[in-house]
């Protein structure tokens, strides 16, 4: 591990995951329906739930109460977020890794994995391929390795922003990489990143130790748990949490995620921007027992409960899930999905129709094209959005604005979603997807109140459609 900075905990790093408390909550009795409905009402009033209240929703397991929780998640999504779904693509930059996480094909002991790090030219080619499909938002993914130090991550981010082909450009780059120290975050932040994501994988200490050997960097539970706190302290106030579901009891992990979210909110005045909830997938050189596998019904419940518990946090559903599960889960409050994803290193230019397991971290469940996913979303009544305007005009914490500023969605989010959609339709869509999109835009316009915003929006949409204008936003 030479060349990597020592893992130095700051004095105020604390382990805020109180297992006994969480276990105690989960050992509670089935709650009465009246209490569950009080909590549901609190969610509908857009108030964040406490860990205890979240536990009550998890313990409510009659079909009737479950249906009420699902319905609340659908309503929250509809009334509060609207029908937009933000789209992005993952871009794996390098799969060398010094860690040995049992579940991951990139673990250092895996001799079956083909190791590769994209050089800047190769990275550019991947970005061009993604731009040519219509993508505007990427997440760069890295193993943990001395070759992927903060300077390298920052350089990769800059290369992505600089790469432009035709009307294509990437307007937001997020990161999923190992936790850094303060200095490292500051270097990466200066390259203009959006969200820095770190998944804690499992918050259960003993399980964490089992999957992450003690002699590896990732084996240090507290250093990872404190990773996003250091990010905040270094000026990255846009962070993403996640758990790898399937390692331990999913209900424990949900309560831990809420604990982590509330901890950040309390300590830094900003909650996490997003929560991801990947379920474990098959991977080359990996065999896992299935004791804690999360079935589809439980998966839906965990998404719905998260939606109710953390109303200001975006929920990300990835292409690990197959198309049908994604379609079914979307309505429970998901706000972002990836589409047209390939996770083999170099996969956007080199991969054929089938996935090459030796070249990827795990097997994806949904490798449909962006065009196909867009069409399905629109046929289901969702407005796919590539909007990045809040970050670009400095309106950070936009989820908070969506909730707290009356009319914000109608003034900003919906118009911007429609503008980025129109741009996609003109530049990249297949004829079939374009007609589905034009139909949807007409329906959405009809729903908007008359007034200045609508007039300007109509004018801008015409500008994109008829005069080839680009990058217009409110």
Binding site for ligand SAM (CB under 6 A): 103-104, 141-144, 176-178, 198-199, 201, 244, 278, 280-281, 283, 286, 320, 361-362
- State how far the Cα of 318 lies from the Cα of 336, in Å rounded to an integer: 8
Site for ligand SF4 contains 279 (CB under 6 A): no
Q: Interface residues for ligand SF4 in 99-128 (CB under 6 A)?
A: 99, 101, 104, 106-107
Site for ligand SF4 contains 272 (CB under 6 A): no
Tokens for 433? 């997807």
Residue positions counted in the chain: 474
Tokens for 462? 């015409």
Query: What minimum distance in Å lies between the beta carbon of 187 and ligand SF4?
Result: 20
Query: What minimum distance in Å lies between the beta carbon of 412 and ligand SAM?
Result: 31
Tokens for 259? 């604990």
Residue among 137 and 281 whose Cβ is closer to ligand SAM: 281
Task: Give 471's contacts (C-beta < 8 A, 6+ positions apart).
Answer: 423
Angle at the Cα of 164 from the Cα atoms of 162 and 168, rounded to 5 degrees? 135
Tokens for 111? 């001799």
Site for ligand SF4 contains 143 (CB under 6 A): yes
Q: DSSP for 414-435, please give it.
A: HHHHHHHHHHHHHHT--HHHHH
Tokens for 254? 């949900």
199 binds, among ligand SAM, ligand SF4, none (CB under 5 to 8 A by kind): ligand SAM
280 binds, among ligand SAM, ligand SF4, none (CB under 5 to 8 A by kind): ligand SAM
Residue among 100 and 444 whose Cβ is closer to ligand SAM: 100
Closest residue by Cα to residue 271 from 235, 238, 307, 244? 238
Site for ligand SF4 contains 252 (CB under 6 A): no
Q: How far is CA 115 from CA 120, 212, 461, in A?
A: 16, 20, 45
Tokens for 413? 């989010």
107 binds, among ligand SF4, ligand SAM, none (CB under 5 to 8 A by kind): ligand SF4
138 binds, among ligand SF4, ligand SAM, none (CB under 5 to 8 A by kind): none
- The runs of H, that is alpha helices, within 93-241 are 120-133, 150-162, 182-189, 205-211, 221-225, 227-233
Beta strand 383-385 pairing with 172-176: unpaired
Residue among 204 and 375 whose Cβ is closer to ligand SF4: 204
Site for ligand SF4 contains 196 (CB under 6 A): no
- State how far the Cα of 85 lies from the Cα of 336, in Å rounded to an integer: 5
Residue among 362 and 412 whose Cβ is closer to ligand SAM: 362
Size of site (CB under 6 A) for ligand SF4: 9
Indicate which single residue of 84, 218, 281, 399 sits in contact with ligand SF4 (rule: CB under 6 A). 218
Residues 189 and 153 sit within 8 Å (Cβ to Cβ): no
Site for ligand SF4 contains 86 (CB under 6 A): no
Site for ligand SF4 contains 144 (CB under 6 A): yes
16 binds, among ligand SAM, ligand SF4, none (CB under 5 to 8 A by kind): none
Angle at the Cα of 70 from the Cα atoms of 64 and 75, rounded to 5 degrees? 125
474 binds, among ligand SF4, ligand SAM, none (CB under 5 to 8 A by kind): none
Residue among 72 and 176 whose Cβ is closer to ligand SAM: 176
Query: What minimum distance in Å lies between the beta carbon of 193 and ligand SAM?
Result: 14
Question: What is the contact surface with ligand SF4 in residues (CB under 6 A)?
Answer: 97, 99, 101, 104, 106-107, 143-144, 218
């Amino acid at each position: 591990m030479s060349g990597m900075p020592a893992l130095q905990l700051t004095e105020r790093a604390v382990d805020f995951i109180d297992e006994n408390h969480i276990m105690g909550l989960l050992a509670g009795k089935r709650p009465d329906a009246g209490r569950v409905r009080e909590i549901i009402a609190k969610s509908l009033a857009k108030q964040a739930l406490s860990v205890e209240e979240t536990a009550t929703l998890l313990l409510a397991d009659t079909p009737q109460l479950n249906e009420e929780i699902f319905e609340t998640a659908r309503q929250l999504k509809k009334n509060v977020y609207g029908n937009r779904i933000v789209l992005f693509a993952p871009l794996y930059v390098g799969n060398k890794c010094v860690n040995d996480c049992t579940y991951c094909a990139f673990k250092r002991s895996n001799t079956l994995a083909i190791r590769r790090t994209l050089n800047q030219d190769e990275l550019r080619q991947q970005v061009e391929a993604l731009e040519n499909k219509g993508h505007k938002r990427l997440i760069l993914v890295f193993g943990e390795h001395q070759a992927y130090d903060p300077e390298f991550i920052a350089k990769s981010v800059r290369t992505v922003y600089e790469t432009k082909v035709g009307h294509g450009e990437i307007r937001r780059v997020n990161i999923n990489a190992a936790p850094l120290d303060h200095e490292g975050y500051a270097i990466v932040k200066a390259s203009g990143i959006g969200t820095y994501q770190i998944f804690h994988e499992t918050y259960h200490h003993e399980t964490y130790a089992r999957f992450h050997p003690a002699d590896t960097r990732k084996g240090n539970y507290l250093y990872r748990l404190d990773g996003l706190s250091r990010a905040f302290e270094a000026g990255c106030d846009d962070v993403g949490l996640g758990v790898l579901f399937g390692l331990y009891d999913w209900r424990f992990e949900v309560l831990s995620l809420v604990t982590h979210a509330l901890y950040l909110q309390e300590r830094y005045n900003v909650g996490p921007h997003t929560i991801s909830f990947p379920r474990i997938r098959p991977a080359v050189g990996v065999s896992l027992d299935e004791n804690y596998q999360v079935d589809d019904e439980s998966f839906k419940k965990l998404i719905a409960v998260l939606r109710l518990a953390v109303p200001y946090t975006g929920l990300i559903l990835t292409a690990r899930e197959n198309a049908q599960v994604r379609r079914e889960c979307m309505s429970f409050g998901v706000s972002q999905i990836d589409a047209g994803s390939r996770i083999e290193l170099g996969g956007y230019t080199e991969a054929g129709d089938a996935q090459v397991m030796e070249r990827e971290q795990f097997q994806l469940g949904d490798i449909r094209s962006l065009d196909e996913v867009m069409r399905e979303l629109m046929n289901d009544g969702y407005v796919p959005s590539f909007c990045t305007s809040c970050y670009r005009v400095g309106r950070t914490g936009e989820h908070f604005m969506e909730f707290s500023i009356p009319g914000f969605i109608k003034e900003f989010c919906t118009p911007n979603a429609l503008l980025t959609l129109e741009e996609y339709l003109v530049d990249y869509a297949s004829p079939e997807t374009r007609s589905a999109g034009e139909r949807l835009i007409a329906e959405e316009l009809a729903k908007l109140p008359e007034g200045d915003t609508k007039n300007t929006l109509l004018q801008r949409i015409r500008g994109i459609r008829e005069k080839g204008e680009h990058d217009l936003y409110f």
